[in-house]
Amino acid sequence: MSADAITRKQKKVSKTDPAKSNNMTVSEENKEIDLNHPDLFLNRELSLLAFHRRVSAQAQDTSMPLLERLRFLCIASTNLDEFFELRVAGLKQRVVVSAPQAGPDNMTPQEVLNRIRVAAVEFVEEQYRLLNESLFPALEQEGICFLKRDQWNEAQNQWVRTYFEEELQPILSPIGLDPAHPFPRILNKSLNFIVSLKGKDAFGRDSGMAIVQAPRSLPRFIQIPPELAQHPYDFIFLSSILHAHVGDLFPGMKVTGCYQFRVTRNSDLFVDEEEVDDLLRALEGELPARRYGDSVRLEVADNCPEKMINFLLKQFKLEQQDLYQVNGPVNLNRLLPLPDLLDRPDLKFPSFTPSVPTRLGRNLLNTIREGDLLLHHPFESFTPVVDFVRQAAVDPQVLAIKQTLYRSGPDSVLVDALVEAAKANKEVTVIVELRARFDEEANIRLANRLQQAGAHVVYGVVGYKTHAKMIMVVRREGKKLKRYVHLGTGNYHDRTARIYTDYGLLTCDEKLGEDVHNMFMQLTTLGRGTQLKKMLQAPFSLHTGLIERIEREAEFAQQGKPAHIIAKVNALNEPKIISTLYKASMAGVKIDLIVRGICCLKPGIPGISENIQVRSIVGRFLEHTRSFYFLNNGDPEVFCASADWMDRNLLKRVEECYPIEKPELKTRVIEQGLKLYLQDNTQAWVLDKEGNYTRLTPKEGEPAICAQQTLLQTLAEKA
């Protein structure tokens, strides 16, 4: 849409409507609204924290199977850990160096930290209240009990003593604090105990305090042998065993208190890629430091005396606002293994078998030659993607295989196939992203393994993470070479393919194959890339391509034509995209956004974003598909992508965005992947202009619609 058209539209907006209600400036000359005004943006970090609370809300949903509710609680706790390790840690660093505002919302880092503190305290209290008042009692009704010390009978007490003496005590190293025994280094997120003592030890020392670090090699809860159990499943926390016998660690002294604590540390890695010669070795050297980064949060038992809390805060150089006192295990996420340990299918989601496309023959390349294949995981199997590489690895006519690996898992069957292909003297090139956060160590091992097999391994582009999901197989067919490609929205990871929703396209389209070839050439050489024919690519054409398409819809709306945009992404925070969406809304474009996590756009502002709806779907599977629909004057364009609408994805990473062109596949994405999610009224949360999310429920007489459940019934096979 032209600037004049935008001005005309903006002049129609009352100066006292959106501008006054949002404290935005309005030019007296032309009454233009400043679409980059901070009041039009939600804060990134607070939006992310709100997503974690939506995940935690699943644990409160009594319609969910009980063990799945516990699983959601643990996942939310793990998410919160990572939030402190990365986001809070980054904000603290910005405060130290007196950095300016953290984003387009114009909030200072300290302001954001203050807001996080308020929300996080409430979040943590909700979690432990839910655990103690709802989940534990419900589990006990099902015969799954975590026994407290005062509930142990004589036989159980004896078993606990034996476990302590034989399994726990031999590997403990309690440290009494004195000048010769300073406060120990505490591992990130490890379980520890601070112990108060009376009396003198064998050497006449009287420090009054000691630290006991729980061994990481032992589970955080232990099942009591069935013959000693009072219920079908009885468990005891490792912390309870240590509490019961901590006095045995300090003979001749009296233990007057023992309290759990855990510290969370900055876990971001810093490697100046411009200054290192070998990125792999530099990361290998940096990884150990992650365990002992700067402290950002202290969790302690809520009955810990103030004197000991202050002592711990001083040791970790933290303030009161960094303290979280909890009524339960400080390492809440260590309950996550419980659902998988229990043979209680009645308390879990019903199992299902991902389907395999009916036209899939034994020879996958033959199937692809017959027509494009679109896979919607986890409802449809990830196996065809694995078979695509496996068959290429043993096909004598296949000359080369190229693949990007961002996250693939420690025992990847895809990597196995690439290794076999390299050993068979095929040209195997793998772009391994070493900086995939928290997967660096696993990716280093994979890179070394591939190199040992004879594959060409490169680490992408300096300064730009390679987040694109691509496989290319080059095969000799007659006198020509033919390219077969897989393009995905998610990682090449067997496990996440069963719990993340993602799209994958298998095709031998000549122009798409050429585009993928050119992208691989960009990644492996230092030459300039050529313009792609069908695909959009970050950091070059994707950002501008999206803006052009949003503006095109606005132009159609200005001409009185129907205009509609539907986008499904994991996150939206890129300011230019947001302001362009505002302009399109003001022009009359209907905009439906399905944003799982971070959303910095404010919908529903009169005169600005009243044509924009934002919803978040949180359910059994992690919504991970990125797909975009533009009505385009009745000739719809549909894309799938590896990229979210975030500044880091669009401007600082290598990403791929590919068109879905076959009519039947395009219809599938529109109907099953977008419009169905807009109909969801059971797992959808709707965002308002204040940044609050409200969960939808079916209205009276309205059928309940769950997008994920519908796709399970439609696409997956029943187990």
CB 159 within 8 A of CB 223: no
Residues 691 and 46 sit within 8 Å (Cβ to Cβ): yes
Interior angle at CA 598, CA 596 and CA 603, nearest 5: 85
Are 646 and 574 a contacting pair, CB within 8 Å? yes
Q: Please name the helix (run of DSSP H) or strand (run of DSSP E) that holds residue 418, with its range, or none.
A: helix 413-423
Residue among 696, 672, 670, 547 at smallest CA distance from 614: 696
- Burial label, 68 (beta-carbon count in 10 A; 0-12, 13-18, 19+): middle
Known binding positions for ATP: 79, 500, 596, 624
467 an active-site residue?
A: yes
Amino acid at 392: A
Q: How many CA atoms lie within 13 A of 573 on its CB side?
A: 21
Which residues are annotated binding-site positions for Mg(2+)? 407, 437
Judge whether 264 and 297 are in contact, CB under 8 Å.
Answer: yes
Q: Which residues are annotated as a binding site?
A: 79, 407, 437, 500, 596, 624
657 vs 53, 197, 426, 497, 554, CA distance in Å?
Answer: 30, 62, 28, 19, 22
**Token duo for residue 272:** 């100046």
- Given 37, 243, 376, 467, which residue is catalytic? 467
Angstrom distance (rounded) from CA 184 to CA 688: 48
Task: Give buried/exposed letters for 501-511 (b at 16+ CB in 10 A, else e).
Answer: bbbbbbbbbee
Cβ within 8 Å of residue 5, ≥6 positions away: 554, 555, 558, 587
Q: Are 23 and 39 in contact (CB under 8 A)?
A: yes
Q: Residue 357 corresponds to which tokens in the numbers above? A: 């496309």
* Cβ proximity of 643 and 542 under 8 Å: yes
3-class DSSP state of 139? helix
Start-to-end Cα distance in the chain: 51
Whether the CB-CB separation of 583 and 6 falls below 8 Å is answered with yes
Handedness of CA 355, 361, 363, 368 (dihedral sign): negative
The residues with which 352 forms a beta bridge, in sequence order, are: 718
Q: Copy the structure tokens of residue 171.
A: 């590997």
Determine the Cα–Cα distance for residues 392 and 383; give it in Å rounded to an integer.
14
Three-state helix/strand/coil letters over 17-82: HHHHHCCCCECCCCCCECCCCHHHECCHHHHHHHHHHHHHHHCCCCCCCHHHHHHHHHHHHHHHHH
DSSP codes joined into one string, 479-523:
TEEEEEEEEESS-S-TTGGGTEEEEEEEE--HHHHHHHHHHHHHH
φ and ψ at residue 197, rounded to 5 degrees: -130, 155
Write out the catalytic residue numbers: 467
